[in-house]
Protein backbone atom coordinates (compact mmCIF):
# COMPACT_ATOMS: atom_id res chain seq x y z
CA UNK A 1 0.00 0.00 0.00
CA UNK A 2 1.21 3.45 -0.83
CA UNK A 3 2.56 5.22 2.25
CA UNK A 4 1.88 8.80 1.22
CA UNK A 5 -1.22 10.00 3.08
CA UNK A 6 -2.98 11.39 -0.03
CA UNK A 7 -2.66 8.04 -1.80
CA UNK A 8 -3.64 6.10 1.33
CA UNK A 9 -6.90 8.04 1.37
CA UNK A 10 -7.69 7.30 -2.25
CA UNK A 11 -6.58 3.69 -2.50
CA UNK A 12 -10.04 2.54 -3.64
CA UNK A 13 -9.91 5.00 -6.54
CA UNK A 14 -6.41 3.85 -7.46
CA UNK A 15 -7.49 0.21 -7.35
CA UNK A 16 -10.46 0.95 -9.62
CA UNK A 17 -8.12 2.54 -12.17
CA UNK A 18 -5.65 -0.33 -12.07
CA UNK A 19 -7.78 -3.46 -11.93
CA UNK A 20 -4.98 -6.02 -11.79
CA UNK A 21 -3.50 -4.86 -8.52
CA UNK A 22 -2.64 -6.40 -5.23
CA UNK A 23 -2.38 -4.18 -2.20
CA UNK A 24 0.18 -4.64 0.51
CA UNK A 25 -0.36 -3.06 3.89
CA UNK A 26 2.91 -2.45 5.65
CA UNK A 27 3.69 -0.83 8.94
CA UNK A 28 6.68 -0.21 11.17
CA UNK A 29 7.31 -0.07 14.88
CA UNK A 30 5.96 3.34 15.96
CA UNK A 31 9.02 4.39 17.98
CA UNK A 32 11.34 3.51 15.08
CA UNK A 33 8.94 5.30 12.72
CA UNK A 34 9.24 8.43 14.87
CA UNK A 35 13.03 8.26 14.84
CA UNK A 36 13.27 7.70 11.11
CA UNK A 37 10.78 10.48 10.39
CA UNK A 38 12.28 12.89 12.91
CA UNK A 39 15.85 12.63 11.63
CA UNK A 40 14.86 12.53 7.96
CA UNK A 41 12.43 15.47 8.09
CA UNK A 42 14.02 17.71 10.73
CA UNK A 43 17.26 19.13 9.32
CA UNK A 44 17.89 21.18 12.46
CA UNK A 45 17.17 18.29 14.86
CA UNK A 46 20.41 18.81 16.79
CA UNK A 47 19.67 22.48 17.40
CA UNK A 48 16.14 22.10 18.80
CA UNK A 49 15.60 22.57 22.51
CA UNK A 50 14.13 19.68 24.46
CA UNK A 51 10.58 21.08 24.61
CA UNK A 52 10.46 21.56 20.83
CA UNK A 53 11.90 18.08 20.22
CA UNK A 54 9.33 16.48 22.51
CA UNK A 55 6.48 18.37 20.87
CA UNK A 56 7.63 17.23 17.41
CA UNK A 57 7.93 13.64 18.61
CA UNK A 58 4.38 13.72 19.96
CA UNK A 59 3.16 14.92 16.57
CA UNK A 60 5.09 12.16 14.81
CA UNK A 61 3.66 9.52 17.13
CA UNK A 62 0.17 10.80 16.34
CA UNK A 63 1.03 10.69 12.63
CA UNK A 64 1.83 6.98 13.06
CA UNK A 65 -1.55 6.59 14.79
CA UNK A 66 -3.44 8.35 11.97
CA UNK A 67 -1.71 6.29 9.29
CA UNK A 68 -2.22 3.07 11.22
CA UNK A 69 -5.94 3.72 11.72
CA UNK A 70 -6.28 4.08 7.95
CA UNK A 71 -4.31 0.86 7.41
CA UNK A 72 -6.31 -1.05 10.03
CA UNK A 73 -9.61 0.13 8.55
CA UNK A 74 -8.43 -0.93 5.13
CA UNK A 75 -7.40 -4.34 6.43
CA UNK A 76 -10.84 -4.93 7.94
CA UNK A 77 -12.61 -3.95 4.74
CA UNK A 78 -10.45 -5.58 2.09
CA UNK A 79 -8.55 -8.74 1.41
CA UNK A 80 -5.00 -7.47 1.24
CA UNK A 81 -1.52 -8.72 1.96
CA UNK A 82 0.33 -7.56 5.05
CA UNK A 83 4.00 -7.38 5.86
CA UNK A 84 5.67 -5.40 8.60
CA UNK A 85 8.96 -3.62 8.03
CA UNK A 86 10.51 -5.91 10.62
CA UNK A 87 9.30 -9.15 8.97
CA UNK A 88 10.40 -7.90 5.56
CA UNK A 89 13.90 -7.12 6.86
CA UNK A 90 14.08 -10.51 8.56
CA UNK A 91 13.04 -12.45 5.47
CA UNK A 92 12.63 -10.46 2.23
CA UNK A 93 11.95 -13.62 0.24
CA UNK A 94 8.87 -14.36 2.35
CA UNK A 95 7.15 -11.34 0.82
CA UNK A 96 7.74 -12.78 -2.64
CA UNK A 97 6.28 -16.14 -1.57
CA UNK A 98 3.30 -14.48 0.16
CA UNK A 99 2.53 -12.49 -2.97
CA UNK A 100 2.78 -15.54 -5.22
CA UNK A 101 0.57 -17.63 -2.91
CA UNK A 102 -2.10 -14.91 -2.69
CA UNK A 103 -2.20 -13.97 -6.37
CA UNK A 104 -1.03 -17.08 -8.17
CA UNK A 105 1.52 -14.93 -9.97
CA UNK A 106 5.25 -14.90 -9.49
CA UNK A 107 7.12 -11.68 -9.05
CA UNK A 108 10.70 -11.47 -10.11
CA UNK A 109 12.31 -8.64 -8.19
CA UNK A 110 15.82 -7.56 -8.98
CA UNK A 111 18.03 -9.98 -7.07
CA UNK A 112 20.68 -7.29 -6.52
CA UNK A 113 21.36 -7.33 -2.76
CA UNK A 114 21.73 -3.54 -2.78
CA UNK A 115 18.65 -1.36 -2.96
CA UNK A 116 18.46 2.22 -4.20
CA UNK A 117 15.59 4.08 -2.56
CA UNK A 118 14.91 7.80 -2.75
CA UNK A 119 18.12 9.78 -2.38
CA UNK A 120 19.82 7.26 -0.08
CA UNK A 121 23.03 5.52 -1.06
CA UNK A 122 22.48 1.90 -2.18
CA UNK A 123 22.16 -0.39 0.83
CA UNK A 124 21.29 -3.95 1.80
CA UNK A 125 18.05 -4.91 3.51
CA UNK A 126 18.62 -4.54 7.22
CA UNK A 127 16.37 -3.75 10.17
CA UNK A 128 17.51 -0.31 11.36
CA UNK A 129 15.05 0.00 14.25
CA UNK A 130 17.58 -0.46 17.06
CA UNK A 131 20.08 1.94 15.49
CA UNK A 132 17.44 4.58 14.89
CA UNK A 133 15.75 4.35 18.29
CA UNK A 134 19.13 4.43 20.06
CA UNK A 135 19.48 8.02 18.84
CA UNK A 136 16.68 9.03 21.23
CA UNK A 137 17.08 9.87 24.89
CA UNK A 138 15.02 7.99 27.47
CA UNK A 139 12.73 11.02 27.90
CA UNK A 140 12.12 11.16 24.13
CA UNK A 141 11.16 7.49 24.09
CA UNK A 142 8.95 8.06 27.14
CA UNK A 143 7.02 10.89 25.44
CA UNK A 144 6.41 8.72 22.36
CA UNK A 145 5.26 5.79 24.51
CA UNK A 146 3.02 8.07 26.58
CA UNK A 147 1.51 9.55 23.40
CA UNK A 148 0.80 6.06 22.04
CA UNK A 149 -0.60 4.67 25.30
CA UNK A 150 -4.26 5.59 24.57
CA UNK A 151 -3.87 3.68 21.28
CA UNK A 152 -2.53 0.44 22.77
CA UNK A 153 -5.20 -1.58 20.94
CA UNK A 154 -3.86 -0.17 17.67
CA UNK A 155 -0.19 -0.78 18.45
CA UNK A 156 -0.93 -4.33 19.58
CA UNK A 157 -3.12 -4.94 16.50
CA UNK A 158 0.02 -4.43 14.43
CA UNK A 159 2.11 -6.48 16.87
CA UNK A 160 4.01 -3.64 18.52
CA UNK A 161 4.73 -2.91 22.18
CA UNK A 162 6.25 0.59 22.23
CA UNK A 163 6.94 0.38 25.97
CA UNK A 164 9.51 -2.35 25.26
CA UNK A 165 11.86 0.41 24.03
CA UNK A 166 11.99 2.04 27.48
CA UNK A 167 14.64 -0.34 28.75
CA UNK A 168 15.93 -1.63 25.41
CA UNK A 169 18.12 1.37 24.57
CA UNK A 170 19.98 1.60 27.89
Global pTM reads: 0.83
Continuous segment of H or E residues that includes residue 25: strand 24-25
pLDDT at res. 1? 44
Consecutive 10-residue averages of pLDDT for the chain (170 residues): 62 77 85 95 92 97 94 77 87 78 69 66 85 95 98 96 81
CA distances from 144 to 65, 101, 116 (A): 11, 37, 30
pLDDT at res. 157? 95
pLDDT at res. 167? 76
**Number of alpha carbons in the 13 Å side-chain half-sphere of residue 3:** 9
pLDDT at res. 149? 97
Q: What residue segments make up the domains of the chain, in order of their start?
A: 5-165
Amino acid sequence: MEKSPPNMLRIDTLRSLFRRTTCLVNNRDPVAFCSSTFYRNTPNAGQLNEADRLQLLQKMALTWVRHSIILKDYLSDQSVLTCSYEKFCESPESLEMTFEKATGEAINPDKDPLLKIKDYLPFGIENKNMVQVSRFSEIEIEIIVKTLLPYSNLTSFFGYAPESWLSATN
